[in-house]
Amino acid sequence: MPVALQPVTFAEKPQLRAMFDPYLIAHARLVDPDGATGDPTDYRHFDAYWTEPERRPYWIMADGVRAGFVLINTHSPSGLGTDHSIAEFSVVPERRRGGLGRAAAQAALATAAGWWELQVYRANPDGMAFWPRAIGDAHPSTWDEIDLGDRVVHRFRLP
């Protein structure tokens, strides 16, 4: 299945937001079911993806149709520093479990060499199963899993 990443333009920001908010709400139901952290759609760095060069928003395109999104930045969840980080990643529910997510992860990781990080909350069993396979597909030269209690940070280097 052909999968590609396409930059999200400033004009497409409302369409991304329309896909992003339900993703944030679903994620919050897993990792913060009591709502202790407040409104899950209050994503303070969203607008910065169109003003800061180290932030890159992409559509996941499959068969010419938007099938999800990936947000890449340079935030280091481990605190060790990184070149690139997958901050958010989602495939629309009706396109999951068919290989599209793994292909999209490969496309995202192929955007740049260097140190990468991403964090997965333990309360997200699908993400906990998905990311080790997706990272393994990229054949990192170095890979550490850093246990932060409620989440795991995958830190790896790609050539």
Q: What is the pTM of this model?
A: 0.92
- In order of 29, 35, 58, 59, 155, the CA distances from 105 in angstroms are 23, 29, 12, 12, 15
Give 21-24's long-range contacts (Cβ < 8 A, gap of 24+). 23/69, 23/88, 23/90
For residue 75, the enclosing domain spans 3-158
Q: Average pLDDT, whole number, for the chain? A: 93
**Is 35 or 56 the better-scoring residue by pLDDT?**
56
Q: pLDDT-derived band of residue 27, with 50, 70 and 90 as boundaries?
A: confident
Query: Quick check: 80 and 155 in contact, CB under 8 A?
Result: yes
Return the pLDDT at 12.
Answer: 98
Instruction: Give the DSSP H/E element, type plus range, for residue 144.
Output: strand 142-147
Residue type, 147: D
What is the tally of structural domains in the chain? 1
CATH of the domain at 106: 3.40.630.30
Pairwise CA distance, residues 124 & 127, whole Å: 5
